[in-house]
Structures are given as C-alpha cells and as structure tokens.
Amino acid sequence: MANKVLEKQILLEVNKNKLDIKGKDSAFYLRFVDHVETIAELYDELYAHHPGAADNFQGLLHTIARNWKQRKKKLRTRDNEKSKQEYWFLSNEINGMSLYVDRFCGKLNGMSSKLEYLENLGVNFLHLMPVFQSPEHASDGGYAVSDFRKVDSRLGTIDDLISLQKELNEKDMYLMLDIVLNHTSDQHEWAMKAKQGNPQYKDYYYFYPDRTIPDHLDESLPEIFPESSPGNFTYIKECDSWVMTVFHSYQWDLNYRNPRVLVEMLDTIFFYANLGVDVLRIDAPAFIWKQSGTTSQNLPQAHTILRLLKQCVQVAAPGMALLGEAIVAPKEIMKYFGTGDFTAKECDLAYNATQMALQWDMLATGDTRVMLAAQHLLLRKPYGTSWITYTRCHDDIGLGYDDDMISSSGYNPYAHRQFIKDYYSGSYSGSPASGALFSYNPKTGDARISGSLASLCGLEKAIEKKDTAAIEISIQKILMMQAHSFFLGGIPMLFYGDEAGYTNDYSYISDPGKIYDNRWLHRPLIDWKKNKLVNKKGTIEQKVYSGTQKLLALRKKLLMVADTKNLTWMTPHNIHVAGYIRTQHQQRLYCLFNFSGQHLSLTWYAFKEHLYPAPARLYDHWSSVQYEIKNDEQYFVLDPYGFYLLEVVE
C-alpha cells in the first residue's frame, strides 16, 4: 500500500481526471497504488536533488492518470486478455517482420493490401520502421524525429496509422513501433526553440558554451558513426554553443537529468501505447544517461529510467511490452532484463544481438565454439522475458561479443574479427559474401558489417556468376540462418526483402540523403513484380519464400519452441554443428545446424546423453524423414549447411 502522501497525490489526479475508481477504473487504481511507491523511489534516485523534482513528479502522476483516462475501451479489453495469458509475448505463435513502409509499399494506406502477403508467409507481428515526422535528407532512416506525434506526410497521416492498427487487430496481428528516446532531430520544435536561445528548451539538451567540457567528455566517449559523424558534439552557430550529438550531427541527445524531459517522453510513450502498440521498441536505451569520465553507455541511471518507464506503463498500458534496443556487449545486454529486485521488471524483450552476430561468425568460420562460449551468459535471461531473434535488420552487424569468448576458442581476438570483417566485406579471397564495412574507425580499427542476408550468404555473387550450384548453397545458407534464429526462443523478426532473397541495393549511392550511410545497402526497395515470383515454382524467390514460410509454420505448430527457459545446448561432439534442445513437458525437439560446407557425422550418442531412457526415433519436421536412433559408434549424417528439427517420437 502506498504511503499517505503518495496516495493523496494519486487521488488528486484521480479527481482531476474524473476516474471511476469504484467502477470501471478500479483495476487501474489498484495498479496505481501498487506501483506508486516504486515509481517514487526510482524517480527519487534520479531527481531527488533537482529543484523541479516535486512539480515534475506530480506531472508524472498526472501523465499516467490522463493517459489511462484516454485509453480506449478496446485497448483496455486487449490489456485484460493479454494479462490472462502468462507473458503473451513468450508464445511460439508470434512471428515478426520489420519493414520501411515507403520502401515496402509506398504509404501507410497501401499496407492493407499487403497484409495478405505477410499472413501467407506466416507473419503476424509487424514492426513499422519509424513513421513519425523526420527531415527528408537528415533522417537516419526515421530515427531523427522532428515531431513525435505527426506521421511523416510522405507516409500518410495518423488516421492511416490508426486504421492500419485496427485492421491488424481484427486479424489478430500485433504492432510494434519505435520510441526514439535518446535524441530528437535538430528540426524538432524543442531543438528549434533551444537554437533561439530559449533556456527552458536548451535544458532539454546538453549545451556547452565552448569546447572545454565537450573536449573532456570526448576523451571517454566512443564514436558511433566515426566516418559520417565523427566526434560527439556539434557547433550550433545560431546560439554560438556546442550541443551533444552522439549519433549524427542532426540528432541531438536529450538531457534526462532534466525531469521534464522524462515526463514529456513518458507522455509520448503513452501516446504510442494508446494508438494500440503491442510492443514498443525503445531505440538506443543504452545511451540515455551521460556521465563524464565514462563511455556514457549502459550507466545504472539508464536502467533506472527504463525501470521507471516500465512501472508507469504497467499501470496505464499494461498490455504493451517494452523492447530495449541495446546492441551492446553480451553481459550488458542481459542487464536490460532487469537485475536484483527488478529482475524481469525492466525491458520485456531485447534483441539477441550477440547470437545474431555469432551466427555470422559461425557461418564464416564453420566453427561453433565462439558461439557456445557466449551461452553461459545468454542463458541467464530471466523467465518472463524474451528475445527478438534475427539474422538481419536495418542496422549493421557489430562483432560486439567479448574477446574472451574468442580466445577461449583458441583464436586471437583481433585476427579473428579481422577475418570475419574481411570475409563479409569480400576482401578475403574466395569468400562468397558481398557486403561492406560500415563505420570504419581508423583510430581503433573497428568496423561493422553491412549487407543483406542473401548477399552475405553468397547469393549475389552466385547469381552474377550464373553458378547454379552456388545459388542452391546460398539458399540453403539463408534458410539455415533463419531456422537457427526462429527456433532458438524469442520472437523471430524477419527483415523485409529477406523472405524473397533480396540482394544488396546499390541505389543509395546516388541519393545525397543516404550516400554517407551504407546501411542502405540492405534496405531494399520492394519490387512487387519480383515478389510475385514467390509463387512461381523453381525461382529463387519462391525457394526462399516457401522455405521461410514452412519454417514459420513449424514454429507456430511446435509448442516447445515457446520461450519458457526451456533450451539446453547439446554437447558439442562436432565443433561444426550447433545443436540445441527445446523441451515442453514430455516433448523434445533437437535442432541441429551444420555450419560447414561439408557432409558431417554426429554420433547417435549425442541424442541420448540428455534424455533417459534414450529415445528410439526422431522425426525431422523439416524434411519429413523419420530416423531410428542407432548405436553410439554409428553416425547421423548432416548435409552441408543442412539443418534438422528432430522431434523425439515414441
């Protein structure tokens, strides 16, 4: 029960908003009372000494109550339905896709006619890449938002978004949108006012009159886009000051030391929640708190903010899950699920960026050991939270896993990473991949990798050479990479175009708004004539699409792949084979992936050591072949880049 002062504060908001706490708002009121103490504690951790602490706290409570008041009946009902299932987002029946509306189908009102294509594929969870207003030539793909509430006119209107959400809802599909929490565009109203010298709005950002503090901060701040946007500060001539811009120079970092910023952004979060968003993707949460002498990433205060937001969302939009887009070192990623008293009470979901990058590592080396070395950390994910699993997304692939994971496998970390980068950027002779290095930093030698799933799997080169055998191998690699991520646990998130085998798109080079960012290489412009080929037997498009479709259908069918902390890695009898077991009651599914281009053998004993008594038969859901388990000195043979989804059958 909340203390008297807090309860009084809540009641004030209840009355202001005319909430019916004895009737239809009673569950809300109970949640409010239940959470308010924690909300106050977390808030105090950040702002106890701020002169505006008390006023803004009342503002925060008001934001919660007002947004509940505005939450439509339909959404409240959906909240209730979700709360009846234990952690709805752990289900094996959710399959996602991320897409740019303009590059996929032009405008939001064109999405409706494409839903059938997605449904047919097996996708029922849609991540629309940023749809809110963003300056055309300084947008970072929409991640530089100039108005958090106005849909970009190039994509349509807020009404188009609302009717799309309604249609998704009717089809039992889910919607994910982004909140860009860390920064705004320099064209945002707050930034414009700050530029004019308005002190209230200058305090929304980090402004400095000269280079003294920026120079000091730069000593410990890494560079995110060293090629296109070196440094972390930008000179603003209108007010003769420097502003912090960790990403691009047009993305101004918000100052969360100011509680007003927090309350404004919380209100924006509820605005999205009340549009019917099912999962809110919190962009770049690792960066939201800055501290001199540190990298200003993953700081404890960033976690406090996320916990606070989670508590507030839990009160007024409990059906909306939060996804933290923290693409950071594995041990840091894990903390976004919450730690200590807040275990499983921070972000509900996080990207399994470590596993994603390690899949690419395995594909290049054919060796699973570095990936296995990361599992002791990844398996610590608490029950009630889940991953977004993926092979590609709109961003680059960063090799951010730890050096000791590489060295424990017998490799030199520097040389190993260099090999992976060379392999995918095509400079390693004989590599089938055609990607590119992204954000090369000459000071550190770091770089990440751009390129589409198909091109990185060798399809682009194989098509160029008209090499039919190589085309088949790359299709097999594409499907193996997808299968590995679909069954691992977590919501699979396809990236649009990958389902139809899109190779790199080089047109960004002639666009001045994109040329400085080669991530556009793998953000295709959909050509629906090409996509129609998914129905034409024997085409590359059809082979990739139907394979992906089959995998997604299998995922929906196999209950044991729901993410209920039910994964065990198989003992590595063969370092080229990654194998995990998914279990649910008596059911067992062995998922095996051959990351090498050779036929391999695996002792049948591998299937016996985790199960007693030893199973007699295995049924492969992928090939529909049934296997009798043989003696330990005999072998199960895996095809090059083959994968197997073997269920124990009696």
Residues near ligand GLC (CB under 6 A)? 140-141, 143, 180, 247, 283-284, 325, 394-395
CA distance 546 to 535: 9
How far is residue 419's CA from residue 501's CA, in Å, rounded to a whole number? 25
3-state secondary structure 187-212: CCHHHHHHHCCCHHHHCCECEECCCH
Nearer Cβ to ligand GLC (138/614): 138
Q: How far is CA 155 from CA 129, 134, 245, 650, in A?
A: 11, 11, 27, 54
Q: How far is the CB of 316 from ligand GLC (least distance, A)?
A: 26
Give Cα 355 to chain centroid, integer Å.
Answer: 12
Largest CA distance in the chain: 78
Query: Shortest gap between Cβ of 141 and ligand GLC (angstroms)?
Result: 6
Whole-number minimum distance, CB 587 to ligand GLC, in Å?
36
Write down the least CB distance from residue 176 to ligand GLC, Å: 13
Sequence-ordered strand ranges (E) for 37-167: 96-99, 125-128, 132-133, 147-151
Q: Which of 160, 267, 283, 346 is catalytic?
A: 283
171/154 Cα distance (integer angstroms) = 26
Length of the chain: 650
Query: What are phi and psi for residue 148, nearest 5 degrees?
Result: -70, -10
Least Å distance, CB 477 to ligand GLC, is: 25
Question: Least distance from C-beta 400 to ligand GLC, angstroms?
Answer: 12
In sequence order, which residues have a C-beta less than 8 Å from that of residue 406 and are 6 or more positions away?
A: 370, 373, 412, 413, 416, 417
Minimum Å distance from CB 326 to ligand GLC? 9
Q: Are 125 and 556 in contact (CB under 8 A)?
A: no
**DSSP class of 279:** E
HEC per residue, 376-401? HHHCCCCCCCEEEECCCCCCCECCCC
Is residue 551 within 8 A of residue 644, CB to CB? The reply is: no
Give whichever of 355 and 594 is closer to ligand GLC, judged by the CB atom.
355
Stated as kind and residue range, the H or E segment containing 175 is: strand 174-180
CB-based contacts of 264: which residues, under 8 Å, 6+ apart? 204
Q: Which is nearer to ligand GLC, 47 or 143 (CB)?
A: 143
Least distance CB 521 / ligand GLC (angstroms) = 13
- Give CA–CA dist 27/310, Å, rounded: 17
624 Cβ neighbours under 8 A, 6+ residues apart: none
Residue that is written with structure tokens 């036929």 in the block:
599
Strand ranges for 496-566 from DSSP E: none
Backbone angles phi, psi at 297, to 5 degrees: -130, 145
For this structure, is 325 an active site residue? yes
Rounded to the nearest angstrom, the gap between the alpha carbon of residue 258 and the centroid of all alpha carbons in its chain is 27
3-state secondary structure of 46: helix
Measure the CA–CA gap between 276 and 613, rounded to whole angstroms: 48
Separation in Å, CA 340 to CA 35, 36, 226, 336, 385: 17, 19, 36, 12, 15
Which CB atom, from 346 or from 395, has the smaller least distance to ligand GLC?
Answer: 395
Given 79, 152, 253, 325, the catalytic residue: 325
Q: How far is the CB of 105 from ligand GLC (least distance, A)?
A: 21
Identity at 175, one-letter amino acid code: L
Neighbour tally for 613: CB within 10 Å: 6
Looking at the Cβ atoms of 327 and 602, the one nearer to ligand GLC is: 327
Nearer to ligand GLC, 264 or 283 (CB): 283
Name the amino acid, one letter, at 205: Y
In the complex with ligand GLC, which residue's Cβ is closer, 38 or 232?
232
Q: For residues 382 and 343, is the Cβ–Cβ distance under 8 A?
A: yes
Identify residue 231 by its one-letter amino acid code: G
Task: Work out how close the CB of 428 gets to ligand GLC at its nearest, in angstroms, rounded to a whole number.
Answer: 27
Output 36 or 180, the one with its CB closest to ligand GLC.
180
Beta-strand relationship, 436-438 and 567-569: unpaired
Residue nearest to ligand GLC (CB): 143
CB of 434 to ligand GLC, least distance (A): 22
> Which is closer to ligand GLC, CB of 110 or CB of 135?
135
Report the residue number, 185 or 409, with the smaller CB distance to ligand GLC. 185
> Do residues 627 and 636 touch, judged by C-beta distance below 8 A?
yes
Is the CB of 128 or the CB of 552 nearer to ligand GLC? 128
Looking at the Cβ atoms of 325 and 460, the one nearer to ligand GLC is: 325
Known catalytic residue at 628: no
**Shortest distance, position 615 Cβ to ligand GLC, whole Å:** 42
Angle at 223 between CA 219 and CA 229, to 5 degrees: 120
How many helices (H) and strands (E) are present in the chain, helices listed first? 22, 25
DSSP 50: -
Active site amino acids: 283, 325
